Structure 1
Amino acid sequence: MREPLLAYIPAIDGLRAIAVLAVIVFHVDFLDLMPGGFTGVDLFFVISGYVISQSLSLRSDMRLVPFLMDFYRRRLLRILPALLVVLLTSFLFCALFMPQFWLSDQINNSGLAAFLGVSNIVLAWSTDTYFSPGNDLNPYLHTWSLGVEEQFYLIFPALYFVWLRYRTRLKMVWMVLPLMAVASLGVSAYETQTDQLAAFYLLTGRFWELAAGALLFQVVGPKRGSLRSRTVATALLSGGFGLLLAGFLFAGGNGFPFPWALITVGGAGLMITAVVLPAQGYHSVWQHLLQAPLLIYVGRLSYSLYLWHWPVLVVLRWTVGTELLVVQLLYPLVVWGLAAGTYRFIETPLRSGQAFWQKQAWATVMVSVVAAGSFGWAGYWISQNTERLSLSQTRDTYNWYAYSHYPREPIDKINDERLLERQLFVVGDSHAAGYRTLLKLTSLRLGVKVIEYEQGGCGVVTLMEADPTRCLARREADFKDIAVRAKPGDIVFLASLRMPELQGRGRARWNEEVIDKILDEQTLDRSVGARRSAESVLSSLQAAGLNVLIDAPKPLLRASANRCSDWFNHMNPVCAAGLTINRDVLERLRAPQMRLLEALQREYSNLHVWDPFALLCPGSICSAYDADQLPLFFDSNHLSGHGNRVLEPSFINELLKIWNTP
């Protein structure tokens, strides 16, 4: 193998620095400078494909098994130690500061999957895209790219070994990687339109980007130092940088990864070519920039910077917030310090160590498996024991969470023959799940069977607009199941959000103009859609001889109680709106829904309305807490466990009234 392949290319580290800085600037949303900065990951992919190919080419004289084992030894020592430390630290800090909330299961699952290198697959199965607001609070979101690379490493080394071994004898081996890359590009183009989650997160739609770097090495790697034209070299650098900049500034989530990733991959290819091919002695502004000592150092830290920047941002976003100037100044210092420390004390020693387990491939693999399993188990234990570790008030899950906790209080059971074999069917969105404590108490006190059908984000009879069309198939299946199980006289409890959400509207500013704007959103078309959806559901249930119980619109808040009740987050700007709101404001906002309920009651004799509003807001000011300073709400609109228990007597009385039971 020719000597030029062995030489270190400082400008490659400069490109890594550009990639990681673009991603960080995008994630912190600094002045919206780089709305497409997430394409820095695509630059990383091309660099990885090139560098891995170069590394494998240096070992072309090895047999297959040693070739593969040595590759995985080096990759494990390079990737795993820092990743395990960051993941476990993230689990710990999330347990300390971030209470479990509606996205917690998905977040924890993606974090645990990251220990196995498959977080991208878990994220592809979720309902949120990479750009969804909910993902701002997932500290493991960025590990999707590591999953893609790690899965690429399972396939690529064997393919590349075949190319190295047979490229001079069998011309067809030159076609394997290009054909796979073209197929992957086709998948990316198709899935961007039909299944963007899969296109974005899965290797099938990203393989071509890593393969582009490998193909680039096959073409230009052996010709390193052969280009003597300064004009051509400068044109390559300028053109490549222009394409990268176009991606950073203009790439959008709707057309990603295809076609926008093509621009970044093309720019990366031109830049790498421009730093590999020029003969010794060539210099330009771009070359000096990419080889600047500071940029090279950032490039060497790029892996650790990438690992740390996102979980630190998530924890800050949840606690003190990222809007404060002092936080914005401290954030880069904290991330830099963690990355530098990780590079100095974890990455470097473990990559260059001379211990037996670091030099022998089989030993490295065994130690890595044990380490990943141990750290993963520790992360799982933390995720299951947040109540013990949390510094938040929400660690009191009995009062904060609407779990189906078995009650600590004695249960006075109501024994009445008219309740025998009665069933309560509960259908709705996350607010149906928010009644779990209440439903558990109801089942225990009345001895009735409670059957729940919950689907987050899928309100039923919302009274504000037509029920979501994306939920109709699931909802129809739920009602068919109820029709099979139910007996005449059973109750179907329809529980959903029936008030316009207020969180994030105007922050601290709150006036008549804001309220009027919210009311104006209730257009005639939306009102007509709301009524039609309600009539469709109610008519079918009335025809089946079933009683229907609807909860009237409950109070809601402008900030989340679970996020704004602790010493470490009360100063967060998202909490500026406070945890109280005037009752008359909420009365105005729910008036249209109440009028529709009254009209529906006149039309459907089986419809009953339960209104818990006065119990949750007994005075002129509605608060997240009751007079004993116990939480009534978990977040801005879902009930707490204590809130459930406050409503339990009223709810049970309503059921008994329907069933004509004293």
Structure 2
Amino acid sequence: MTAPASSFRPDIEGLRAIAVGGVVAFHFGMSDLPGGFIGVDIFFVISGYLITRHLMQEIGRSGTVDLWRFYGRRARRLLPASLLVIAATLAAGYFILAPSEQQLYAKGALFASSYVINLWLLRWSFDYFATDTANNPFLHFWSLSVEEQFYLLWPAFLLLVARFRPGEKGLAMMLGVAALASFAACAWLTVESQPWAFYFSPLRAWEFAIGGLVSLAVAERWASGFRFSPAMGWAGIGLIAAAYLTVSETDPFPGLIALMPVLGTAMLLLSGARRSAAGPAALLSLPPFQWTGKLSYSLYLWHWPVIVYATILWPDLSLVGRLACLLATVGLSYLSYRFVENPVRLSGWLSAGSLRSLGLAALLTSLGVTLSYGASQLAARSVDPDQKLIAESAARFSSARQIDTNCVVSLEQTKPRSCNLGASQPRKTIVLFGDSHADHWSTPLAKIAEANNWRVVTYLKSSCSVAAVPTWNVRLMRAYAECDAWRKAAMKEIADLKPDAVIVAQFSYSYVENDVNGDPDHLVTRDVWADGLRGSLAALSETSAEVVLLRDVPVHKLYLDRCVARSLWQGRSSTVCDTPRQEAIDERVSKTEQAATSGLRGVRYVDLTELFCNQTTCPAMIGGKLTFRDRHHIATPYAATLAGSMQRAIFGNQVAAHWQ
């Protein structure tokens, strides 16, 4: 590049303020900005712009890149504040989180310290039964890992390209090819396997590459004296604003949708190349934007653990409470910026030699890993018998999954897979059909089958309704076509099996509109639900089997395994984890399902809600046992106690076994 090094651009500092403001607003529960999380994508484009500009200027001056100096500069900028937040989050977690959670999230801290937490979260995101990620206080480090992986590889890539001396146009063409390849893969996998598109850094490389292309364009236009239009900048602001206001976390993201913030950011960067009183650069240069932009890195680091811990301590955190969390975030961010981030970044002694900065990086990385491992070991020694019992209860598999974890087929699988429980030469055959909410009934059903010389055959698929309705899968972030194919094939196998009875159970609250769970944008209406459910039940009844539809279980506000373990650790009663009945159950859903069974020969509706709730409350623990392992899956040890009640409710006097 022949262009001279540019001076500081205040509009980019202001753009950082917009990016971090969106992320913080989203995480702090501002429903008016459902797309605030795309601020991360703005950061990616800015990073691509700035790093490419700095590296190409160095290549233009010296013909090479001092990689060690570059890595040392990045280490001084990022690692000290990062380690401070990791250490503080681990320390606070000791008093707030249960020991089992401390052990789990210490792994997150370890992966964050070694810059690969995005890969850990990628693996975790495919496990339906994994612990809820929303309470992971290190979750936000995924984007920092993506950035650090970019910083590791991008200089070598640019240096390699520069060695071939392709010129600016040739370099731009190669960056464009890389961006197109990454974007195409990202768009495809957003539809096919969204977690890969979201967390895997090569599939986010196109966002950094767009920033790199903008840096080349800016340098070339500066050299020719071309002025970018302020109107382009305002259009860019409009694209970002539209993304903030219209995109939500339930949309298939990143994919095509990510073009809105990425192109909007690129347009702003181009427009701000020459500041104009009529352009957005003047607005972004105002003091509030500049102050927030300076703190943006620290704000990003601190905001997530602050709001996660606050909502754990006060689940119904009010607006005033959230404002207090915002003030705490700003205060912590200023202190870490003033006394850690800036002093280390600007240290003359560290800047004097690359080895010093790299030594600091090795020290901080090692310290982060050591602290994380130490926190995990301390938590392991802190678990008392009651907390261990809760953790084991939550981790126990249902009877079907004890036989084979593949009894509940995966999201992408369309071929049914049956599992057999009970007698090998049975007097009767009972089919258990549905999703994971059918699976958790396999434990009491297995006990019933063993006592009566019956066989239970399971047909189970994750997140797939028995009701023939359009289904949106929140993990795949797309229409769940695999569910339709599996349901059709499973019902054919059930018909061929000719069972004596079919028991149907499903997580109704995740499919049909209700007030206790789910995304209203992707739930079907109760009328559609009734029609789809009635059709499936009618088809099952044509097999001459008795068909029993179980009412869905209550949905708790909190993850009960975590909540109860925390209450034990903090010396509080487990009743703090109870959910009022009216908040755990939507009676309209039950009435819709009852109506769907009406008039169908051989089809009954069975309500077992009283096994989980009294007239006012759905307790977290009953008889000293955890009722649910999360918010709505029955804990296996408690499910085992329900065999007698389930037998009486479904089979009445048809069986000889008696239960106390």
Same fold flag (TM > 0.5): yes
1:269 aligns with 2:266: yes
Q: Distance in 2 between matches of 1:405 and 1:247?
A: 42
The equivalent residue for 2:13 is: 13
1:533 aligns with 2:536: yes
Structure 2 CA distance for partners of 1:152 and 1:627, relative to 1, 3 Å: closer
Q: Distance in 2 between matches of 1:357 and 1:536?
A: 75
Question: For each residue in 1:449-485, what CA deviation from the matched residue of structure 2 results, as whole angstroms up to 9, or x when unmatched?
Answer: 99876544234479999x986435556787899999x
Structure 2 CA distance for partners of 1:93 and 1:366, relative to 1, 3 Å: closer
The equivalent residue for 2:52 is: 53
Q: Distance in 2 between matches of 1:582 and 1:328?
A: 22
Is this contact kept in 1: 2:103–2:377, CA < 8 A? no
The equivalent residue for 1:429 is: 435
The equivalent residue for 1:374 is: 370
Q: State the shift of 1:161 in Å.
A: 1.0
Query: Which of 174, 181, 184 is 1:183 aligned to?
Result: 181
TM-score, normalised via structure 1 length: 0.68
| 1:495-510 → structure 2 map (5 Å cutoff) | 495-497=505-507, 505=515
Question: For each residue in 1:323-362, what CA deviation from the matched residue of structure 2 results, as whole angstroms up to 9, or x when unmatched?
Answer: 5132132021111122223334443354455469973576
The letter of the residue matching 2:217 is: V
1:647 aligns with 2:637: no
Q: Distance in 2 between matches of 1:537 and 1:19?
A: 52
| 1:232-271 → structure 2 map (5 Å cutoff) | 238=234, 240-249=236-245, 254=251, 257=254, 261-271=258-268
| 1:475-624 → structure 2 map (5 Å cutoff) | 495-497=505-507, 505=515, 522-523=526-527, 526-537=529-540, 552-553=550-551, 556=554, 559-560=557-558, 562=560, 578-580=579-581, 590=590, 593=593, 603=602, 612-616=608-612, 621=616, 623-624=618-619
The letter of the residue matching 1:314 is: V
Bigger Rg, which one = 1
Q: State the shift of 1:48 in Å.
A: 0.7
Question: For each residue in 1:517-538, what CA deviation from the matched residue of structure 2 results, as whole angstroms up to 9, or x when unmatched?
Answer: xxx9653x64453244235456
The equivalent residue for 1:23 is: 23
Q: Look up the SS of the partner of 2:634 in the other structure.
A: coil
Q: State the shift of 1:306 in Å.
A: 1.5
1:334 aligns with 2:293: no
Q: Look up the SS of the partner of 1:339 in the other structure.
A: helix
Is this contact kept in 2: 1:463–1:527, CA < 8 A? no
Q: Distance in 2 between matches of 1:181 and 1:561?
A: 41
The equivalent residue for 1:211 is: 209
Is this contact kept in 2: 1:400–1:634, CA < 8 A? yes
Q: State the shift of 1:73 in Å.
A: 3.3
Q: List runs of 5+ in structure 2 lacking aligned partners.
A: 127-131, 400-421, 474-479, 518-523, 571-575
Q: Look up the SS of the partner of 1:5 in the other structure.
A: coil
Q: Distance in 1 between matches of 2:279 and 2:81?
A: 34
TM-score, normalised via structure 2 length: 0.68
The letter of the residue matching 1:534 is: L
Is this contact kept in 2: 1:46–1:211, CA < 8 A? yes
Q: State the shift of 1:126 in Å.
A: 7.5
Q: State the shift of 1:176 in Å.
A: 1.5
Q: Distance in 2 between matches of 1:464 and 1:454?
A: 18
Q: Look up the SS of the partner of 1:639 in the other structure.
A: coil
Q: Distance in 2 between matches of 1:42 and 1:380?
A: 32
Question: For each residue in 1:564-612, what CA deviation from the matched residue of structure 2 results, as whole angstroms up to 9, or x when unmatched?
Answer: 888899xxxxx999524599x9888646656877977x648xxx99864
Is this contact kept in 1: 2:47–2:208, CA < 8 A? yes
Is this contact kept in 1: 2:430–2:503, CA < 8 A? yes
18-27 or 622-631, larger mean C-alpha shift: 622-631
The equivalent residue for 1:471 is: 483
Structure 2 CA distance for partners of 1:441 and 1:365, relative to 1, 3 Å: farther
Question: For each residue in 1:602-659, what CA deviation from the matched residue of structure 2 results, as whole angstroms up to 9, or x when unmatched?
Answer: 648xxx9986455545x75564268868664566644346643542444578899877
Q: Distance in 2 between matches of 1:105 and 1:656?
A: 46
Is this contact kept in 1: 2:433–2:504, CA < 8 A? yes
Q: Distance in 2 between matches of 1:108 and 1:551?
A: 42
The equivalent residue for 1:348 is: 342
The equivalent residue for 1:159 is: 157
Structure 2 CA distance for partners of 1:447 and 1:123, relative to 1, 3 Å: farther
Is this contact kept in 2: 1:625–1:631, CA < 8 A? yes
The equivalent residue for 1:44 is: 43
Structure 2 CA distance for partners of 1:137 and 1:213, relative to 1, 3 Å: same
Question: For each residue in 1:274-297, what CA deviation from the matched residue of structure 2 results, as whole angstroms up to 9, or x when unmatched?
Answer: 54446xxx8778555444455333
The CA RMSD measured in Å over matched residues stands at 5.9
The equivalent residue for 2:411 is: none
Is this contact kept in 2: 1:35–1:250, CA < 8 A? yes
The letter of the residue matching 1:556 is: P
Q: Distance in 2 between matches of 1:219 and 1:432?
A: 57
1:316 aligns with 2:310: yes
Structure 2 CA distance for partners of 1:285 and 1:55, relative to 1, 3 Å: closer
Structure 2 CA distance for partners of 1:106 and 1:460, relative to 1, 3 Å: farther
The letter of the residue matching 1:5 is: A
1:306 aligns with 2:300: yes
